[in-house]
Amino acid sequence: MRPIARFGSIAMSSSTGNSMPESRLKQRLIDLRSELSADELDDETRELIEALITDLEGVLEPDTDSGDGVSDRIRRSFARFGSRHPTLAAIVEDVVDTLSAMGI
């Protein structure tokens, strides 16, 4: 079990240092998987979302350095499909904000 450090009234996991953004990122992974099942996605967008999901799963894994460059890849993905898929664009924008809050 991971030790928990308390800062004020917020409990934070010592493995990531940020349990609230981590929870938000996990929720956004669920949202991305849900959007991935939508029939209206073209192959290119589907591949980008699958790669994004893989990147985010790596960020959430303890003891990995998968966060390197993931924000840049996400921003590039966002630029490619943002106007065609506004729901996905909103999810991806929130993911970038959450990663930033996590220091990634």
Distance CA 19, CA 14 (A): 9
11 within some domain: no
Query: Which residue range(s) make up the domain with 56?
Result: 20-101
| pLDDT reported for residue 67 | 56
> Which DSSP symbol is given to 81?
H
Distance CA 46, CA 15 (A): 31
Question: Residue 73 — very low, low, confident or very high, per pLDDT cuts 50/70/90?
Answer: confident
Q: How does pLDDT run across 1-44, given as a tens digit for each residue?
A: 333 333 222 233 334 455 788 899 999 999 999 988 877 888 88
With contact defined as beta carbons under 8 Å apart, do 30 and 94 qualify?
no
40 within some domain: yes
15 within some domain: no
48 within some domain: yes
Question: Residue 92 — very low, low, confident or very high, per pLDDT cuts 50/70/90?
Answer: confident
End-to-end CA distance of the chain: 24
2 within some domain: no
Radius of gyration of the chain (CA): 15
**Letter for the amino acid at 29?**
L
Share of the chain above pLDDT 90, in %: 8
Alpha-carbon dihedral angle through residues 78, 80, 81, 87, given to the nearest 10 degrees:
10
- pTM of the predicted structure, to 2 decimals: 0.66
| pLDDT reported for residue 30 | 92
8 within some domain: no
5 within some domain: no
Please give the mean pLDDT across all residues of the chain. Answer: 74
- Total domains in the chain come to 1
| pLDDT reported for residue 66 | 55
88 within some domain: yes
